Structure 1
Amino acid sequence: MNKSIFDFKDYKKYLEFVEVGRPHRGRGFRAELARVAGCQTAYVSQVLNGRAHFSLEQAHSLNKILFHNKEEAQFFLTLVEFARAGSIDLKKYFNELLEEQQQRYLNLKKRFNIKETLSSEDHSLYFSEWTYAAVHMAITIPQLQNLKAISNFLQISEGKVSKVLQFLSSRGLIEQEKEHFKLGTTRMHIGSEEAMIQKHHTNWRLQALKSLESVSEKELHYSSVVSVSLEDVLKIKSNLVKQIEEYNSIVKDSKEETLYCLTIDFFTLKK
């Protein structure tokens, strides 16, 4: 079951759930919490295993490394306030706030008909660099469904892969089964937001430039500057669109064995 923070009433149990769900069962997670919260790792253990609590300031800082969106961040802070409340009346007050926030979340989830969608903040992070999409697609390949295999294949550190996997998992884009991952149910769509589209194109064109440093026979790079009639511009563009449609048709039914990237540019030099 793919749980979210809204399934919890105890922030400590939620953090333990996040810890266990991380690669290598959360190794290094408490040290990371301590660094961001500005305390010793031993204190983090006292919080998770005992009666100590994070302050609201510490909880606010932790929201970032937990990849919480605005609603989740608010809910996490309310969980901490609920746990820290010292009277029955105050406990009741924060419990009602938690229930209201949970209900808002459930109503929104129902409106989107079971499957989750990403917030604009999540989209911004996903398209902020190429590694998120690369790791996401790597999960579709059976032999790349664990942290170490992805790290070796993409030649990026296990720490970076772990961070990306945590984000993808927390958003339902992937799900973890022991040490392996599989695709989740959350929908991923870039939409028509110009800034994200530009960033998406930029990320992969930069990777195309890097691939030129060690070209293999299995890759193809082609660049051409030509003078052409306006009528033929339309013909060329139409032909490229048809080729993209055929490419998508082939990819749709293709067995997942490796990762490739296709970028196509056809543009005027007139300024």
Structure 2
Amino acid sequence: MIYKVTMSLFHTTDYKEVLRKKIEENPGERAYKSSLAAAAGCQLSFLSQVLHAEVQLTPDHAMGLAVHWGLNEDEREYFMGLVQHSRAGSKLLKSALEKKLDAIRARQENLSQRYKKPSLSPGERETLYYSAWHWSAIHILITIPRFQSASAIAERLSLPQSVVEQALITLESMGLALKRGKHWVASQADIHLPKESLLNSIHHANWRNRAISDSQTRSKESIHYTAIHSLSRADFEQVKGLILNLIDSTRKIVGPSKEEELISVCLDCFKV
């Protein structure tokens, strides 16, 4: 199955761009436009004017389209906000609506809120888990059947076996690993560190240092990409949206995937 990375609604600043993209994504352009006009409760000729002139949808039209597309609450609120922003006549109202749209967008960019995965309780154990790369590496590695012993893990990660053995015992005390006979298994594999945590920068640095080390090996299997760009503010939002959609797509692939390889995916996009 191929997962398509599509435009993110939350990183679009013009509702007409959403309309155009929806039309592009659906075959039979005229028939689809007619279905949109019917959903919005307007004439097809009026919808064409919206797409190609300064005519704006009304909130009623926008709600009809939101229901037609099956948008969730946040998506519907954001799309309605875009329409209201385009219709606003005063700078004061536009500014208020922009703040509202920014708040909705910020909620969507908070990955803890986006995926709602469990996290370790703040304290000594959480600090220890995120203090070095090998804790999370060992934790996830034991989901792979051939790496469920201390000796196999030590060889795979080039770590002293004594370090691995102690890490496994500690992970067990954290409720993240279980020993079954001679093998170790993960009891909770999918955890997430909240964006607000002070440990975030340490966790990111640990794995980006590993990325640097891997880039020095020049492995043909690895991908390493760094670029500095100048672009418009609107396109910056589009790029962020694509990256968030890519994260969504990778999680859809990883979830049901058979555990065979341990990999790291590091993604950054920020203003300098």
TM superposition score category, shorter chain reference: 0.5 to 0.7
Q: Which letter does structure 2 place at the counterpart of 1:125? A: L
Shift in alpha-carbon separation, 1:222–1:144, aligned structure 2, 3 A: same
Shift in alpha-carbon separation, 1:241–1:179, aligned structure 2, 3 A: same
SS at match of 1:151: helix
Q: 2:211 aligns with which of 200, 208, 213?
A: 208
SS at match of 2:258: coil
Query: Counterpart in 1 of 2:194?
Result: 191
Check the 8 A contact 1:144/1:150 in 2, yes or no.
yes
Query: Counterpart in 2 of 1:129?
Result: 132
Check the 8 A contact 1:138/1:150 in 2, yes or no.
yes
Q: 1:251 aligns with which of 250, 254, 258?
A: 254
Residues 21-61 of structure 1: CA deviation (Å, up to 9, x unaligned): xxxxxxxxxxxxxxxxxxxxxxxxxxxxxxxxxxxxxxxxx
Number of aligned residue pairs: 155
Moved over 3 A (4+): 115-119, 185-189
C-alpha displacement of 1:165: 0.7
Query: Counterpart in 2 of 1:241?
Result: 244
Please list every run of 5 or more consecutive structure 1 residues that lacks an aligned counterpart in the other structure.
1-114
SS at match of 1:194: coil
C-alpha displacement of 1:119: 4.8
Check the 8 A contact 2:154/2:164 in 1, yes or no.
yes
Shift in alpha-carbon separation, 1:170–1:155, aligned structure 2, 3 A: same
1:58-207 to 2 correspondence within 5 Å?
Answer: 118-184=121-187, 188-207=191-210
Shift in alpha-carbon separation, 1:264–1:119, aligned structure 2, 3 A: closer
Q: Which letter does structure 1 place at the counterpart of 2:237? A: L
Q: Which letter does structure 1 place at the counterpart of 2:202? A: K
User: Does 2:231 match 1:228?
Assistant: yes
- Normalized against structure 1, the TM-score is what? 0.54
Computed over aligned residues only, the root mean square deviation of the Cα atoms, in angstroms, reads: 2.0
Distance 1:185 1:128 in 2: 19
Distance 1:172 1:186 in 2: 10
RCO higher in 1 or 2 (8 Å CA, sep ≥ 6)? 2
Distance 1:239 1:132 in 2: 30
Query: Counterpart in 1 of 2:106?
Result: none
Q: Which letter does structure 1 place at the counterpart of 2:185? A: K
Q: Which letter does structure 2 place at the counterpart of 1:131? A: H
- Normalized against structure 2, the TM-score is what? 0.54
Check the 8 A contact 1:118/1:187 in 2, yes or no.
no
Distance 1:207 1:147 in 2: 21
Distance 1:247 1:185 in 2: 19
Distance 2:158 2:231 in 1: 41
Query: Counterpart in 1 of 2:269?
Result: 266
Shift in alpha-carbon separation, 1:159–1:217, aligned structure 2, 3 A: same
C-alpha displacement of 1:117: 5.8
Shift in alpha-carbon separation, 1:206–1:191, aligned structure 2, 3 A: same
Q: Alignment identity in percent?
A: 30
Check the 8 A contact 1:117/1:186 in 2, yes or no.
no
C-alpha displacement of 1:186: 9.1
C-alpha displacement of 1:163: 1.5
Distance 2:153 2:176 in 1: 16
Check the 8 A contact 2:140/2:189 in 1, yes or no.
no
Distance 2:195 2:171 in 1: 22
